[in-house]
Structure 1
């Protein structure tokens, strides 16, 4: 089809222009809606008509060959005006060539136009992400022709400010919390020779609105190349994978030939090689271990908590990203049945509590066994070695290779920013201080938990040892610590007039590492210590009651159940109050919730752990300690590390805004959970389990060496 062939639609075009939607003259008050048509026409004549007013999309069918209908004269005029606004240079020459190609009907130029946004749709409904077609744009290249310039396309996502377009305040603090800003994110496909300033000048003139373009939101398709650091990372990863394959093959060979008890390799080397075997590590993963201390219920609690945490992360990244109907979240956030997702940050306290409980339970046993002679420095080193290898592998993936794993309109900006953060602050992460240092460049948004948990682990013996050695002094220290841990969030929230907790409103969670409340308060250890202290206290109470063979009375049992359920429900479900747009925030109300809701949830979780471990809730214990819970529980650490990768990948490879429904969100949460645990399984089998196996082998050899030394004649004589 050529330009002259479509003159027959001019009449239809005129009629469509008359009825086209005017975006540049957005009414700001309700009275504007009632203004007569005649007055509107007079107003529009006083202002320069913008592209959004003039342009009309003609619905022309594509033929079998894929040819797109030629653009109308209004669009050509706007493109011409935009081209004139670009400074003289290569970009302007390429734009002129593209314009000529459009008039000729060249397919590559039509595809460039086709990949760009012409008229935004649904912005009054909150759909401010107008992507165009990213994949079509980045693959466009003009054919090699001596008569015409060779042009490669680039995709840019520009921010177009719509004058007069406002989002109504939806909270008592007059903050926009709907995720709909005053800017439309506009996808445009232009020659790769155009700079950011060229794109801004072209689009601002073409659409008649103020435009801002960030270089990170422009993408040009380039050949895949690897830097030295990327090659090194691939080599190290390949080495680990090859060792795992060799170890697995060795294990399978031994099983098939019944040589498992006849190692032909040196014992130490054979044991270390066996640590990398997938078959051996899978057996360990699914094996139901001994439960002498009655701690099996912890598996179920960890699994359920991690599932809801992953679902909460999925919700945060979806709602904080491109969505067609952001008002859906505002409506759903007022229903109590959604509290587990809205308040999933509270479930992180469950892990802090379990961490404190397990440490207290096991440390008190060791203190009794060794009569107080425990090497705490060795415990700290052991923990660091246990946590760091898998953590380091994911951290270096963020730093080195993550940007090579995907693409999309948001990919370069979001993933590039994450890579910059990790490159500058990775060492802070490995020191487990990233919740206090380098918060402006927080790498791996979820890594704050590891820092907080490690810091509390280091401080825990200061409470546990006095409690074991001097009972009354220890109880006093615990009482003071628990009280202070509740008062700190109360005082900090009141003094700084903060939100009662972390609230997941869309425009505030688009990037958690830039959320003011998240990086300045939410991730701080002093704001999260309550749950850990409750865990330590629960561990001591369980240890004391089992040691003395004590049982609580039936009346006390039911009374505590009622109190625990009340506190747990109040802490979890009251979150919906703060999502009500009519709720008036007050300092004292926010401060009380900040100080008490973690305490209430900690009491509830502590009670569930207590009754399960002490045998007072056998049906619940059987469910939580069931065989299926064990492998998922062992994967929760790796799942926590890898979930950020899953969420980032899903959020930044998106091509079109999501339409939110309950079923869609449930499906996304389910798929994200499966992908997270699959990634966790790989991380566990390649890094975590092998390192743990080697650590255990070396520890056993050290213990055997000490036993031989203690049993030698010279040692016996000295001891005598």
Structure 2
């Protein structure tokens, strides 16, 4: 596979040529590709120099060419034969040979580990089925022996009962967000390179009807909001400030262990078997992902790769997990005040919101980002923990609002509800459809800093409105039981969908032709693969290791027994009888 850098047409050897002569040389496809360049330079029918023609062609996107040749041939041997027709400079991208993917130690390690998991799964499933269907025992099977059972784990995965006090609308938000993530990655992977009609894709991507698909990166901010919201909503009911300080190590350990099994499985598979599963013309991207995981697997498991190797992240999309864990590590700085009195909670949250917004604005002005999703923006802002903190802290603020109003409805006048909905529509619409081709650097800096917090504010209003009954059919839609299952496997879908997309694209043997309908065809297949793999990994890896982690945490931090209330003194009960009652209560407590 080669990539051209400049094209020269021998027939245009004269000093001056017209566009009419160019049209006689170039095919209809090439004319359509360079029509945009011709209009951009305001070159209509006037004569132009040959140098200008070459310069225009050199400024066009490079052309990628690929061909199968005998192993004994070199690229130059093939291209020299074309010199009579076209002369061009090129750079060789890669040359693939048969059997050029030797097995490594990572492959052996993966096979051994998953073989052990497979044996445990068979033994545990056999034990649980024997206990339930052959012995027909009325007691539950032993949790430790049955934790790897496919039968029990699948049954628990498919049980969709709603718990009292649960925020059901969050299941819909989480499901739509993960589908949005897969959509954005599907467009990036399937149509990012090697398109037959790249200008059609460029034209479609500039159309407003594509904006809601191309703005999929805001789904990451939705997950930051949900992470901060649930952190406060669950912790505020269970802990006090000093309890948080005393159990800070358990607070961190629980978060790390909960995310570890699926992440470790994905890193291990990407470093080994995903590279061996198939092959194709575009397999170089899969090979690159494999090499990154072999080099930087430790930074992925320690959640520091957005800091130590931001350009070589193992599992490219797992930068989010690193940022999320780092935000959880920093969260006690705010959570300590949130768990105390309400006055200190509001003051702490307000200071955190203002501080994070101030930082991100100052940071944007210091860096002067271009407003495009280039490498500088990705490394220094998109994957920067403090730059992404506003959405997380706004989520914490919303979680505290829902906590203090738990089991009671916030009463709002109709005009404030309408104003909130209007503001949310304006903010979310701006986030998805804003364009800034000719903005000043001042406007770009403010937009870079505030567009993601604006999305977080709009989403938080929607959640508050749904919980308090002000969202109407939107709350009904987001609270459907259908979303509970997808939300339950959303983490596994997130971890494994991107490697699966690389595998499917890497196995292609021909260029992709873009059409609007093909976007949804590829998206449907990506979602289907993600769901299938997520279910398998949840049943075989996540569920059993979650049980083991829970048992481990119970040993490390056992739950103290609840104290019985002291019996109330009854004036009509004789003193001897009261002593006996107190004695029995004391024995029961012991």
Structure 2 equivalent of residue 184 of structure 1: 64
Distance in 2 between residues matched to 1:340 and 1:377, nearest whole Å: 41
Deviations 1:684-705 (A, max 9, x none): 1111111112222344566768
State the SS of the aligned residue for 2:65: strand
Structure 1 equivalent of residue 572 of structure 2: none
Q: Work out which of the residue numbers 417, 430, 445 in structure 2 matches 1:570.
A: 430
Structure 2 equivalent of residue 164 of structure 1: 54
* TM-score with structure 2 setting the length: 0.83
Deviations 1:379-417 (A, max 9, x none): 210111110111011111111222211211221x22222
Q: Determine whether 1:405 maps to 2:277.
A: yes
* TM-score with structure 1 setting the length: 0.69
Deviates more, 1:663-672 or 1:415-424: 415-424
Q: CA deviation at 1:184?
A: 3.4
Distance in 2 between residues matched to 1:318 and 1:188, nearest whole Å: 22
Q: Work out which of the residue numbers 219, 227, 243 in structure 2 matches 1:347.
A: 219
Instruction: Tell me if structure 2 keeps the 8 A contact 1:400–1:419.
Output: yes
Structure 1 equivalent of residue 382 of structure 2: 522
Q: Determine whether 1:631 maps to 2:521.
A: no
Q: Determine whether 1:651 maps to 2:500.
A: no
Distance in 2 between residues matched to 1:29 and 1:494, nearest whole Å: 48
Instruction: Tell me if structure 2 keeps the 8 A contact 1:126–1:324.
Output: no
Change (3 A) 1:190 1:462: same
Q: CA deviation at 1:314?
A: 0.3
Q: CA deviation at 1:678?
A: 1.2
Distance in 1 between residues matched to 2:423 and 2:442, nearest whole Å: 24
Structure 2 equivalent of residue 14 of structure 1: none
Distance in 1 between residues matched to 2:335 and 2:558, nearest whole Å: 29
Q: CA deviation at 1:475?
A: 2.8
Q: Determine whether 1:669 maps to 2:523.
A: yes
Q: Work out which of the residue numbers 77, 97, 112 in structure 2 matches 1:235.
A: 112
Structure 2 equivalent of residue 467 of structure 1: 338
Instruction: Tell me if structure 1 keeps the 8 A contact 2:8–2:54.
Output: no
State the SS of the aligned residue for 1:329: helix
Where do 5+ consecutive residues of structure 1 fail to align? 1-20, 41-52, 54-118, 128-162, 170-179, 503-507, 509-514
Q: Work out which of the residue numbers 162, 165, 187 in structure 2 matches 1:293.
A: 165
Say which one has the larger Rg.
1
Distance in 2 between residues matched to 1:387 and 1:548, nearest whole Å: 33
Structure 2 equivalent of residue 33 of structure 1: 19
Q: Determine whether 1:203 maps to 2:83.
A: no
Distance in 1 between residues matched to 2:385 and 2:335, nearest whole Å: 18
Distance in 2 between residues matched to 1:304 and 1:630, nearest whole Å: 11
Q: Determine whether 1:621 maps to 2:511.
A: no
State the SS of the aligned residue for 2:512: coil
Q: CA deviation at 1:260?
A: 4.3
Q: CA deviation at 1:537?
A: 0.1
State the SS of the aligned residue for 1:293: coil
Correspondence list, 1:389-428, <5 A: 389-411=261-283, 413-428=284-299
Distance in 2 between residues matched to 1:253 and 1:630, nearest whole Å: 30
Bigger RCO (CA 8 Å, 6+ sep)? 2
Deviations 1:426-469 (A, max 9, x none): 11111111111111322211001001111111111211221332
Change (3 A) 1:323 1:536: same
State the SS of the aligned residue for 2:210: helix
Q: Determine whether 1:213 maps to 2:73.
A: no
Structure 1 equivalent of residue 249 of structure 2: 377
CA RMSD of aligned residues (A): 3.5
Instruction: Tell me if structure 2 keeps the 8 A contact 1:422–1:444.
Output: yes
Distance in 2 between residues matched to 1:337 and 1:370, nearest whole Å: 52
Q: Number of residue pairs matched? A: 543
Instruction: Tell me if structure 2 keeps the 8 A contact 1:294–1:614.
Output: no
Q: Work out which of the residue numbers 290, 314, 319 in structure 2 matches 1:448.
A: 319
Instruction: Tell me if structure 2 keeps the 8 A contact 1:531–1:598.
Output: yes
Q: Determine whether 1:533 maps to 2:404.
A: no
